[in-house]
Structure 1
């Protein structure tokens, strides 16, 4: 069990972190606890989210209690504020923010064929190997297309005092330094740290929400599931990659202006043996020329159709009521053509405001795909699954990798960013999703020809097959069905071991894998982890 401590003042970040933890360890293995329960002595794994400075002594006492010979050892995660008492115990010191740091945290607009990134970035040190990860570099903000898309998938680290911002300029001892903030290549202060004490370990991120919007979340999972596995408590992680595979991939075309022009790419995917998905903006269906391809997809194996709203309105129309109608009318129009119900939606412009997600759930959808660095940061999810304070059974999945001609690099390997995006997913056990759009008479999304676009898709798929030994390609509906089943499965502590209770309300043909104490495990017939 992971006990999560946050106050009323930090509830916004606390609820986001709680949901992120539950997406990794299952819904019943992370809970919000009261301050008084930290003193009870039974808390083995504690996550403190931007807690008040005066609660620092509480965490110090919790750590000191772990050194008692009769006490259970423990793990502590701290996101955001590092209280003075704890900072003193861990030998940290305050330092100053760089001049004009707010400007350094923002990126210029990306030009076609080029990327853009902020002057401030996060760089991981060699210590990250202790949590099984590499020496990553993550700009505070980066773009591959104008000021909208970050094809590497992560969100923005801000410098504006919000929950998405770095919290305080603090420097940690060299031996604990996991990651640091750099500006123009010069190290300025600490971003993440790992302390291994005699009877406990402490993981800290200098951001109230931690790395919940990035592949870096893998460090948190590794800390929980395997760090010092022979001596400290560990928490099983439900893997986002199904058992028997080492990568999972899904892709789609968002039919903003056309449907039928997706046919050449569909034929390519069929020849490659890769599933194919369309997200349909149903205003297109007023013209019957677009019906045939949908009907063929509906009848084909390993193909999927999703809603892309009725009118492709920005922010789902701007209200709960408008979003409800967008979702309901789109589903009706698709079902009228295909005779099959629609269960998942893709957000127009990847904008996913909270009211739209609530409207989709109320309209009968089981989940939504979206996520973009420009807006709605709470929907950039390191792990797919349940959302903070949303109904069980409705899931979100972030897929920010846009395979467009505008994003093909003018210098070097045109696909290098897309390959790196897959590498991040592969190395961190993250389900990888990418998208493109069918051509229309008005717009070709930066592709010069259909042949150029097809070659790029073929090359990316070939790279994935070379990079991974056992990649799994799924259509979007099958992918979302698996991720939904994962989100509804529960890990239960029982008789000194853990038991996996699979979902009874979400069906999938794929098996769940569990990561625990450095091992990847397929569940036994009784679902028990030894």
Structure 2
């Protein structure tokens, strides 16, 4: 078991981190623990979230009873800082301003001056020498097509926690401002029978591809000497990449047909998320019927009834948006709708609760501009939501407005897929059908189709065994994964898949440096 440790003052961050850890290791293998449990239960692996200064001695005592692994997010208590050779320094005066990015002009990207820069030492945890800006935009001040959230310097749970320095032989990443190194962001310390992974943020990297280094630390780091925990892969077994895409039908449905025909030629599944006011026009119906009988290669999701910002602004409005949309889609297609896509990708907590209460099984959203808790490194169960409801973040918007004017127009999208591929992340991207009012920055349909074809060609050249999934198929897999349980017994582990639930794809599990197919009930070696 992984003990997830946080005080009441850090309960919000603690619940988000607990949910993130569970999305990797299953709900049974990550449990919240009290301060006293460090002595009474003494789990071999602990994730500690922004713990108070006075808890440092307890953590130090627990860590000394080796073998141990500690993941430490946020502040470093002085009792640990002395042993880890961590020294506090002053905040850079310019950090607040430099943590913010300008809005992106059309066909350009913008990034903050403040950036997290990784060293080659992160390769020990399967990472790379990444540069991760505090904030980044590819479309106005809304979308980051590379998928991660924002780091702040405002005292929030999404901010860097403290300025400090670690020794160069332990530093995995540091914060650079205007090209100069300022303070440490991540570190890895090893003792004879203990290791500590620290990230300078209360929520850690739960909203970023960087979560991969946490998974690798838990599942395989120093496997011969230290405890490890199985991690369930977000990529189905037998594949090295998983991709889902869709068109959000804000103003038209039938206009999706030319791109759908191109996807059919490419053998790639197609998904439409439908704003159901479009269904007032009967000419918009035919493509939905055809899509749903396309031999499992098509899916239809809800995109709300009125496309209201923030789902209408309240639980009650969101509940009605979800109900009306589901009813309209079932009347037109004869099929129930199980999943939703948030308008503008805005996914406030009350809207997610309303969707669960309306009978939906999950939601797609996530955007750097708002609702940071729904920018998810891994899809699956959500903090504060009931079992059976899942979420998935997809912030990669394949629009003409986001194609670069200088250099390779698709460079950002290729980078987005590369990050997902390298970190074993289920990758999703989106576009919109044309309407008489708006073409989303594309000069014409032929140019749009060519860009989509080139992007799919790149994905197939980068991955050896990619699987392209409908949006519903991807969410079905995440739901199946979220209900899979890892059970610890007799010093080993078993993985139990949910019974009575069709498995859309097989699961893979990473443990002690090995990757193998999940065979329900069999003991992991």
Tell me, in whole angstroms, the C-alpha distance in 2 between the residues paired with 1:298 and 1:239: 29
Q: Is 1:474 equivalent to 2:449 in the alignment?
A: no
Q: 1:183 aligns with which of 177, 191, 212?
A: 177
Residue 310 (structure 2) aligns with:
315
Contact 2:480 2:503 in 1 (8 A): yes
Quick one: distance in 2 between partners of 1:33 and 1:99? 37
Residues 496 and 521 in structure 2, CA contact (< 8 A), matched pair in contact too? no
- Number of equivalent positions: 524
Structure 2 stretches of 5 or more lacking a match? none
Kept after mapping to 1: 8 A contact 2:476/2:504? no
Match runs of 1:76-475 below 5 Å: 76-301=70-295, 302-475=297-470
1:525/1:89 CA distance change after superposition, 3 Å: closer
Contact map agreement 2:497 2:520 (CA 8 A) in 1 = no
In the TM superposition, residue 524 of structure 1 has moved relative to its aligned partner by: 3.5
Q: How big is the shift at 1:312?
A: 0.1
Deviation at 1:42, TM superposition (A): 3.1
Give the conservation status (yes or no) of the 8 Å contact 1:478–1:508. Answer: no
Give yes or no for the alignment of 1:487 onto 2:482.
yes
- The 8 Å contact of residues 256 and 312 in structure 1, kept in 2 or not, is answered as yes
Q: Aligned match of 1:498 in 480, 486, 493?
A: 493
Deviation of residue 513 (structure 1)? 0.2
Alignment match, 1:2: 2
CA offsets, 1:71-109, max 9 Å, x none?
A: xx0100110011111111101111111112111000000
Contact kept? 1:482, 1:507, Cα under 8 Å = no
CA contact (8 A) 2:42 2:62 kept: no
2: CA distance, partners of 1:25 / 1:221 = 9
> Is the deviation greater in 153-162 or in 520-529?
520-529
Structure 1 portions without partners, runs of 5+: 67-72
Distance 2:107 2:430 in 1: 17
Aligned-CA RMSD value: 0.9
Kindly indicate whether the alpha-carbon contact (under 8 Å) linking 1:324 and 1:359 is maintained by their aligned counterparts in 2. yes
In 2, Cα distance between equivalents of 1:233 and 1:50: 23
Question: Do residues 53 (structure 1) and 47 (structure 2) align?
Answer: no
* TM-score for both structures, normalised by structure 1: 0.98
TM-score (norm 2): 0.99
Whether the 8 Å CA contact 1:253–1:262 is kept in 2: the answer is yes
Matched residue, 1:19 = 19
Partner SS, residue 194 of structure 1: strand
Question: Residues 263-311 of structure 1, C-alpha deviation per residue, up to 9 Å, x if partnerless?
Answer: 0000000000000000000000000110011111122121000000000
Paired position in structure 2 for 1:518: 513
CA shift, 1:493, in A, is 1.0
Q: Distance in 2 between matches of 1:64 and 1:493?
A: 23
Local SS of the residue matching 1:426: helix
Deviations 1:220-251 (A, max 9, x none): 00000000011100000000001000000000
1:437 shift after superposition:
0.2
Q: For residues 335-370 of structure 1, give each alpha carbon's deviation from its aligned partner in whole angstroms, at most 9, with x where no partner exists.
A: 111000000000000000000000000000000000
SS at match of 1:39: helix
Query: 1:69 is matched with which residue?
Result: none
Query: Structure 2: how far apart are the matches of 1:389 and 1:23?
Result: 14
How far the C-alpha of 1:529 sits from its partner, in A, is 1.0
Q: Secondary structure at the residue paired with 1:159? A: coil
Contact 1:465 1:471 in 2 (8 A): yes
Shift of 1:58: 1.0
1:497 deviation in Å?
A: 1.9
Secondary structure of 2:300's counterpart equals: strand
In 2, are the aligned partners of 1:499 and 1:529 still within 8 Å (CA)? yes
Deviation at 1:41, TM superposition (A): 6.2
Distance 1:529 1:60 in 2: 31
How many angstroms apart in 2 are the aligned matches of 1:195 and 1:505? 44
| CA shift for structure 1 position 525 | 6.0
Secondary structure of the residue that 2:412 maps to in structure 1? helix
